[in-house]
Amino acid sequence: MQHNIPYEKHILVCINETCKMQGSEKVFEKLKARIKELNLKKKYRPSRVVCLGLCGKGPNVAIWPEGTVYCGFNESNVEDLIQKHLLGGETLTELLYKESKPS
Ligand code: FES
């Protein structure tokens, strides 16, 4: 997909009420720290967002512009997101949002 964002990917971490109560701030902070440690800041940009519309299934994380959405994502999944998904091109199927879209 052609896009003009200044990064290869944005990782959008919901920090709205429900996801926050489920630990999304820790997810964001760990993700941000690891991207910095691994010198990947020019490629990947973690951002806090307010609600991805999947409240109660969180913490929820969306990868943009590709459109992958992960639910029940916690701190222990950060390394897999970086190593497997971002660097390896592998989907974390166990965390993938699976419900069908409304018609
Ligand atoms: S509070 Fe996170 S998706 Fe709504």
**pLDDT per residue over 37-96, tens digit each?**
999 999 999 999 999 999 999 999 999 999 999 999 999 999 999 999 999 999 999 999
Ligand 1 nearest atom to the CA of residue 24, by list position:
2
Q: Following DSSP, what letter does each residue of 74-89 receive, concatenated?
A: -GGGHHHIIIIIITT-
What was the pLDDT predicted at 5? 85
- Torsion of the alpha carbons at 55, 59, 97 and 36, rounded to the nearest 10: 140
What was the pLDDT predicted at 1? 59
What was the pLDDT predicted at 102? 57
Mean pLDDT value across residues 1-17: 90
What was the pLDDT predicted at 4? 85
User: Is the CB–ligand 1 distance for residue 17 below 6 Å?
Assistant: yes
CATH 3.40.30.10 for the 9-95 domain, yes or no: yes
* Residue 12 pLDDT exceeds 80: yes
User: Is the CB–ligand 1 distance for residue 38 below 6 Å?
Assistant: no
Task: State which amino acid sits at residue 60.
Answer: N
User: Is the CB–ligand 1 distance for residue 14 below 6 Å?
Assistant: yes
User: Is the CB–ligand 1 distance for residue 13 below 6 Å?
Assistant: no
As a whole number of angstroms, the distance between CA 7 and CA 44 comes to 6
